[in-house]
Chains A and B, each alone.
Chain A
Amino acid sequence: MAAAKSKSPRHQFAMVLDLNKCLGCQCCTIGCKTQWTQGSGMEAMWWNIVNTMPGRGTPRDAFELGGGYRDGEPVPGQLPGQSEWGEAWDFEYDEVFSRGDEGRAYLRPRERDGASPTWGPNWDEDLGGGEYPHSYFFYLPLLCMNCSKPACLEACPRDAIYRREEDGIVLVDEERCHGYRFCIEACPYKRIYFNLERVIAQKCISCYPRLEAGVAPACVRQCPGRMHHIGYLDDPESTISKLVKKWKVALPLRPDFGVEPNVFYIPPLLPMAFNEKGEFDEKGSRMPLDYLRELFGPDAEKALAKVQAERKKAASGKKSELIDILIARDWKQLLGPYPVDPGKLERPPRK
């Protein structure tokens, strides 16, 4: 059934995110929010989110809620309530701004029913893992992975999800969607949202209208860290292909989910441990390698070793194609075949 529904596209749009450069600034998140999720029923949507890892994610315990495939069979998924994703909180603005000199007032977030929230997007920011002084964390941007075996597409009984023939981008047909939400259960990354007002599923669209105008996605252009590489995975000259296939330093997140995502990550280099004197111990790491293997699969160690080796090579003055790609001295190199400046596009006259 999945094979019949999901034909191979002519090309595959893909992304590589270098986690060594992610600041956790959420410019990508806000760029996406400003661009796409300002509409009615979308208030609590964060099609792109950056979570701190280790962490419980968005929604809470996102990677423990099932979905994806195991041994070729769909894995049943859970569907959390809105408060597990994080609601669009109200704040007591009137209370705070009208009190004048009458004592103190605080801006408190409130859920729809007036309760204090117990979770939200990026709730456990910067908490991380480990015990001081061996604490550690890194930032992990999450968005639709445009999987080659999209569990969401197979789960929909109405064929309301499809892969674009031209670039493999996975989209929800909002006209066909009847809001059954099997797709949300089936996505192992839990990157699909539900619009309670329109009763349809909605998610990251890879900014496809921008791509069609030659403009990179909002998250890519907004990133000050220059960590997003985009392009076609099947183009051997693309930085995407070089990072994923040639250098093999860009890895899928949770490859055990079985969905073959087309967003890849360069794992964060292991931060050095401290010895008893409080000095850096180059041979030790604060972050357990096992944790990175759990997230990025058994190739995590080899990928890290490759990056480290090329860094040393570049530091010694030798040329390294890999390090040149990762540094991205020319920002436009990140944009692949989408270099158009949206500010220079012709727009219809304002009404």
Chain B
Amino acid sequence: MAGEVVAIEVCKVEAGLEKLLDPDAGEWGRAAEAMVPIVPTPLDRQPSAYVQVSWRGRPRGGIGEVRVRAVAATGGVAVRLEWAALRPSRLISDVNVYPDGCAMLFAADGREAELGTMGSAGHPVRGWHWRAGTDLPFAVTATGIGTVERAKEHAVRGRARWAEGRWQVVLAGPLGSEGVPLRKGSGLPVAFAVWSGAARERAGLKSYSEQPCELRL
């Protein structure tokens, strides 16, 4: 990934994670907001010729950016993602309906992993993934495109709200090897993704942060 690093300063707050699950909690106002540009994933990286051919020429992207705030609290870290969604897709209500979603991705060991390729063999990535219509977000691991698996052992909590044309989603979980391996004084490379259900995005068809991002505690 090329370009200047988007720094997301993780603000320390005196509150429990439970309170911070509310996207409107006052503590969020203390965290600096980072604007993370997001672009459609390249079609030629989709691991299926069918997907590449059937999405050729279809309009993609359009969300443009996701706004991110992050706080370290009692019990772990919480990240608040916000993006524009004029036509929210809240539920898989039919065979041809897809839900909105978002995710934050980071190297499982906090060090090296190619986030742009969802990790690689021997260098896994971990993600916190929220999908509209599901009760809870879930943790995933991956070692490359097309290898995402749910990671049952990694706890993540979250809450989502749609209001006035925007989704606000909070993802929260522990710090350290059981959650986000963020260490004080060093930056943790992260990436973000957003799926537009109205555009029938799913799997690798999404908007993602091409520019490098870092959580800094």
Chain A residues at the B interface, C-beta cutoff of 8 Å: 1-2, 73-77, 79-82, 85, 151, 154-159, 178-182, 184-186, 194, 196, 199
What are 25 residue pairs bridging A and B, where the CB atoms are less than 8 Å apart in the complex? A74-B49, A74-B50, A74-B53, A76-B54, A80-B95, A81-B95, A85-B95, A154-B50, A155-B48, A155-B51, A157-B46, A157-B145, A157-B146, A157-B203, A157-B204, A158-B147, A180-B202, A180-B203, A181-B95, A181-B202, A182-B50, A182-B203, A184-B95, A196-B93, A196-B95
Of the residues A77, A80, A154, A159, contact of B49 by C-beta under 8 Å:
A154
Residue of B nearest to A59 (CB): B95
CB-based contact A1/B48 at 8 Å: yes
**B39 beta carbon closer than 8 Å to chain A:** no
B95 & A155 in contact (Cβ 8 Å cutoff): no
Bound: A215/B142 CA distance, A: 40
With both chains docked as a complex, state the minimum distance between the C-beta of B58 and any C-beta of chain A, in angstroms.
9
- What's the interface size class on B, roughly? 20 to 34
CB neighbours (8 Å) of A77 from chain B are 54
Chain B residues whose CB sits within 8 angstroms of the CB of A1 once the complex forms: 47-49
Are A80's CB and B203's CB within 8 A?
no
A182 and B94 CA atoms in complex are apart in Å by 15
Known: A194-B95, A199-B92. A158 touches B148 (CB 8 A): yes
* A74-B54 in contact (CB<8A): yes
State in angstroms the CA–CA spacing of A76 and B147 once bound together: 24
A158 and B146 alpha carbons, distance in the complex (Å): 5
Q: What 4 pairs across the A-B complex have the smallest Cβ distances?
A: A76-B54, A155-B50, A74-B50, A79-B96
Given A73-B53, A180-B203, CB of A157 within 8 Å of CB of B94: no
A159: B residues at CB distance < 8 A: 146
11 further A-B pairs in the complex, CB-CB below 8 A; given A81-B97, A181-B95: A2-B49, A74-B53, A77-B54, A155-B48, A157-B146, A178-B203, A180-B202, A182-B50, A196-B93, A196-B94, A199-B92
Output the residue of B50, B54, B147 with the most chain A CB within 10 A. B50
Of listed B54, B92, B148, B202, residue having the most chain A CB within 10 A: B54
Residues of chain B contacted by A76 (CB below 8 angstroms): 50, 53-54
Please give me the residue from chain A that is nearest to B93 by CB atom: A196
The listed residue with most B CB atoms (<10 A of its CB), out of A154, A157, A184, is A157
Q: A77-B54, A159-B146 are in contact. Are A82 and B94 (CB under 8 A)?
A: yes
Contacts of B53 in A (CB 8 A): 73-76
Chain B interfacial positions (CB closer than 8 Å to A): 46-51, 53-54, 92-97, 145-148, 202-204
Residue of B nearest to A199 (CB): B92
- CB pair B146–A186 under 8 Å, yes or no, is no
Q: Give the CA-CA distance A199 to B94 in the complex, in Å.
A: 10
> Which residues of chain A are within 8 angstroms of B93 by Cβ–Cβ distance?
196
Q: B48, A154: Cβ atoms under 8 Å? A: yes
In the complex with contacts A81-B96, A157-B204, A178-B203, A151-B50 CB distance below 8 A: yes
User: Is A79 a contact of B95 with CB atoms below 8 Å?
Assistant: yes
Closest to A113 in B: B93
Give complex CA distance A75, B51 in Å.
10
Bound CA–CA A279/B72 (angstroms): 89
CA distance A1 to B93 in the complex (A): 32
Q: What residues of A have a CB within 8 angstroms of the CB of B94 in the complex?
A: 81-82, 196
Give CA–CA (A76, B93) in the complex, Å: 23
A80–B203 alpha-carbon span in the complex (Å): 19
Which residues of the partner chain B approach A79 to less than 8 Å between Cβ atoms?
95-96
Tell me, in angstroms, the Cα distance from A122 to B46 when the chains sit together. Answer: 36
The chain A residue sitting closest to B145, CB to CB, is A157
Shortest Cβ distance from B190 into chain A, in angstroms? 22
Shortest distance between the CB of B155 and any CB in chain A (Å): 21
Contact A157 B47 (CB under 8 A): yes
Task: Look across to chain B and name the residue whose beta carbon is closest to the beta carbon of A79.
Answer: B96
Give every chain A residue within 8 A of B46 (Cβ-Cβ): 157
Bound Cα distance from A65 to B97, whole angstroms: 17
Closest to B134 in A: A199
CA gap between A160 and B54 in the complex, in Å: 19
Chain B residues whose C-beta falls within 8 Å of the C-beta of A82 in the assembled complex: 94-95
B203 touches A158 (CB 8 A): yes
Residue of A nearest to B56 (CB): A76
A185 neighbours in B (Cβ, 8 Å): 50, 54
Whether A182 and B95, one on each chain, are in contact in the complex, defined by CB atoms closer than 8 angstroms, is: no
Chain B residues whose CB sits within 8 angstroms of the CB of A156 once the complex forms = 48
A158–B202 Cα distance when bound, in Å, is 12
Chain B residues within 8 Å of A81, by CB: 94-97
B200 nearest in chain A by CB position:
A79
Least Cβ distance of B100 to chain A in Å? 15
B49 CB, nearest partner CB in chain A, Å: 5
Within the complex, the shortest CB–CB distance from B89 to chain A, in Å, comes to 14
Contact indicator B96/A182 (Cβ below 8 Å): no
Q: How far is the CA of A327 from the CA of B145 in the complex (A)?
A: 52
Residues of A within 8 A of B146 (CB): 157-159
Q: How far is the CA of A1 from the CA of B147 in the complex (A)?
A: 15
Q: Give B77 Cβ to nearest chain A Cβ, in Å.
A: 26
How many whole Å from A159's CB to the nearest CB in chain B? 7
Closest CB of chain A to B138's CB: distance in Å?
A: 11
Name the one of B49, B92, B95, B145 contacting A73, with C-beta atoms under 8 angstroms: B49
